[in-house]
Structure 1
């Protein structure tokens, strides 16, 4: 049965499966049939648009990054080939496909019991983020139940973090009663919250560095399209430093500038289409809740888990992500002991900063500062996991590019918190695993008892940023 399901999802893919799931959920929420079917269509169109743009832009960015690398002459053994290989491997393992099926049932149960207030089942496709860690653990330990438990545990603490940032995400990205909860793009909420007092102490909250300020101060040059041109020229020059006297190099620089501007212009349009898939569902949730539950801090308020593609094209998100591309390449070379070279998944940086954007109210300086610290730690996590990831991925069906010794996914593996939890579970030491469980239970207790106070604190924290 599991193999049949795997084949089914492989054949139809996210652009078909996700719309079907959204359609079913919409009907369950009593959305009118016409709106439900349009929600499904918008989801399929949006996902297809994302895939087209990213598929076209990824090799372009990859080429520029490789040229930056060649300019330095430094070689790093663990090469980022993108998240797709990890996704393929997770569906190819017994642990992964078991979680995909029973994880959905588990998500429905814990939502029904009130353990989580995030309806994660609506974001089923991103479950591969949990599946890949269980797959790696199974390859290392050969313990099926321990590895499957790791995937379930990662789901549990991801939902806690997703609920903590839900009010901020929902308000900033302007989709009420919605949040993102993908394992690979949620843990950045932690440094965004913990480091915020430090950034305020340094005056970062008073620095007017937001898309709105860009637009107000720079006029036409503050528009996402113009900023794409400017960033594209800078990144293009960095990728052609050794050839700037060559007319061909300048042709490549200017072409990349236009291509990046196209992405920064088109992605928000696709995002608007994709968001239309979730708005009727979010409105239905709002109408179904009792009047008193519409209070933003009401303890019974719940959220729809949606795909983080909805936030990708938001100006602060995509601008910060693009700025971080050359920064992360530079850090990969200068950080002592790092063995990871981020390449293909650099295009995923806007996904990776979404929660930071929501927490900091789009303060680009804070987003970049948080990204530098957290993703630098992530490079070390990815370096440690390089051999494990390579062997597991190749064992479960993904092909390793010729000439590459070790592979990774910067988006999936450069995750300090997930790496620590993974280390605790594969140790098979009851103390470390127990410590993880106790920490989760404490966080869940605090969230259930003090959720309104936590949200109020985060709202006040975000309002300290000048917009």
Structure 2
């Protein structure tokens, strides 16, 4: 297990190339081709890291300045995934969680309960977070492992359900995203999509980069949209033009560079994907499996980046409006696109619909995050990661409905909250299954034509 942890500690840019290269060679890809493919994926994730860090470095201070300017006096600061993930890996559950999550994936594949092959070991931290919280709150290590297992099963099944969306909208054939907020918050959008399809007039509204470009010309191009949104956030933060305009140019860079970086990852996955298809056709009658990857690949879509920028000020507004909220969104603001990325895919890039889905997703996330403040704080203290007098929160995973439902089922600290969130989420999952089947049928029909 220490070997796995050692590789994980090197980060996704090293871990994934090793996994891809070794897996490719095992499946019969020539070593030279496999090593090149692995390095291309590493290059892609280095690029993603640089761009995400750019967003954090540029948008983080702007978000803080915006909060201060508008007098947001929220007492608990969001430490985000950069703060929550190290605390999670420091927990007693972490070392067992990785092999447990891998074993569950293998068993589910063998029993044909999933077609998602998760190679993104780093993001097992999401499942581990649930287990660590359960273990800390209940004081029971075994229940913590149960939390990991439940989250893992749900994640792999969500990976299967998102396949038609990945192929239909994101055009990522053979790839799925079973992790994190992208996968787990996406079901909310399926309900919104169903509702909007049944509202005359509203169902015909479609606002995306394409329609914007047709109506406003150059102002609808991603590079210009990035500049307008970035500079707009700067001015809302109280920046002068000397600071706001560079922020706009940096966000233009994000809009242009992100798809190019994601293409490196897809090029690196191609040899493994093609070889896997050959083996499936030969040994499993063409049965298809899907590679589970980091949701960062969804940021290659300009609509996702656009929606993420729009929701920075909107999330802060929600934080003010939600009754009883104590959480100041901060560290996760720069990567808010992760929360609504799958919603963009569900709505096929329709930013009008994404606006409504995103508001519900972020409102639910903020509400749950408030409930998990004592849990995350206790985990941070137990791992020695924070001062005993501190109080912390995290939108990413701290606002995750799976973690909340599982922990509440085992503690019953807030039965009313459990019933409400569970009801919303179960209904959302039903609509997700419905939409997934519908999109899969549409794809099969198109393939036959």
Query: TM over 0.5, yes or no?
Result: yes
* Residue equivalent to 2:219: 221
Match of 1:249 among 227, 240, 243: 240
| Aligned counterpart, 2:438 | 457
Instruction: Please tell me whether residue 9 in structure 1 is matched to residue 8 in structure 2.
Output: yes
- Tell me what 1:465 maps to: none
Paired position in structure 1 for 2:136: 139
Shift of 1:189: 2.5
1:60/1:455 CA distance change after superposition, 3 Å = closer
Quote how far apart the aligned CAs of 1:170 are.
Answer: 2.5
Distance 1:460 1:287, change over 3 A: closer
Q: Is residue 39 of structure 1 aligned with residue 37 of structure 2? A: yes
1:73-222, aligned counterparts within 5 Å?
Answer: 73-120=71-118, 122-202=119-199, 203-222=201-220
**Post-superposition shift, 1:257?**
1.0
* Number of residue equivalences: 437
Match of 1:388 among 352, 375, 378: 375
- 2:309 and 2:40 map into 1 onto residues whose CA distance is 26
Secondary structure of 1:412's match? coil
Larger CA deviation: 214-223 vs 103-112 = 214-223
- The equivalent of 1:378 in structure 2 is 365
Aligned match for 1:406, one of 391, 414, 426: 391
User: How far apart are the structure 2 equivalents of 1:68 and 1:290?
Assistant: 55
Instruction: Give the SS at the match of 2:206.
Output: coil
SS at match of 1:304: strand
Question: Post-superposition shift, 1:347?
Answer: 1.8
The Cα of 1:217 is off from its aligned counterpart by 3.0
Alpha-carbon shift at residue 392 of structure 1 (Å) = 0.8
Q: Which of 64, 67, 72 pairs up with 2:65?
A: 67
User: Shift in Å at residue 441 of structure 1?
Assistant: 12
Q: CA deviation at 1:293?
A: 8.4
Which of 314, 335, 354 is residue 341 of structure 2 equivalent to? 354
Alignment RMSD (CA, Å)? 3.3
Partner of 2:28: 30
> Do the aligned residues in 2 keep the contact of 1:328 with 1:342 (CA within 8 Å)?
yes
Taking a change above 3 Å as real, the CA distance of residues 337 and 88 of structure 1, as seen in their structure-2 partners, is: same
1:18-67 per-residue CA deviation (whole Å, 9 max, x = no partner) reads: 11111122223333333321221011111111112222331321111111
Please give the secondary structure, in 2, of the residue aligned with 1:98.
helix
- Deviation per residue, 1:58-82 (Å, 9 max, x gap): 1321111111111222211221122
What TM-score, normalized to structure 2? Answer: 0.88
> In structure 2, what is the equivalent of residue 243 of structure 1?
none
CA distance in 1, matches of 2:111, 2:427: 18
Q: How far did 1:459 drift?
A: 5.4
SS in 2 for 1:31: coil
For residue 266 of structure 1, give the secondary structure of its aligned residue in structure 2: helix
Task: Label 1:89 to 1:318 Cα distance change in 2 as closer, same or farther (>3 A).
Answer: same
Q: Which residue of 1 aligns with 2:305?
A: 318
Q: Distance between the aligned counterparts of 2:281 and 2:7, measured in 1?
A: 39
Is the CA contact (8 Å cut-off) linking 1:76 and 1:341 kept in structure 2? yes
3-state SS of paired residue (1:94):
coil
Query: Structure 1, residues 246-294: CA drift from partner, whole Å, max 9, x if none?
Result: xx62211112111211222221221111222223323333333339989
Alignment pair present for 1:330 and 2:317: yes
Does the CA contact (< 8 Å) of 2:191 and 2:428 recur in 1? no
Q: 1:330 to 1:428 in 2, by over 3 A?
A: closer
Q: Distance in 2 between matches of 1:204 and 1:293?
A: 45
Q: Is the 8 A contact 1:123 1:305 kept in 2?
A: yes
Match of residue 421, structure 1, among 397, 406, 415: 406
CA distance in 2, matches of 1:215, 1:442: 36
Q: Contact 2:222 / 2:255 at 8 angstroms: preserved in 1?
A: yes
TM-score by length of 1: 0.85
Structure 2 portions without partners, runs of 5+ = 444-449
1:190-228 C-alpha deviation (Å, 9 max, x unpaired): 112122122223444422312222233333222211101
Question: Contact 2:8–2:122 (CA<8 Å) still a contact in 1?
Answer: no
- SS of 2:184's partner is coil
Report the Cα distance in structure 2 between the residues aligned to 1:93 and 1:135, rounded to whole angstroms.
Answer: 6
Q: Which runs of 5+ in 1 are unaligned?
A: 241-247, 463-467
2:72 counterpart SS class: coil
- Deviation string for 1:320-374 (max 9, x for gaps)? 1111111001110111111111111112222222221222111111112111002
Q: 1:68 and 1:129 mapped to 2: Cα distance?
A: 29
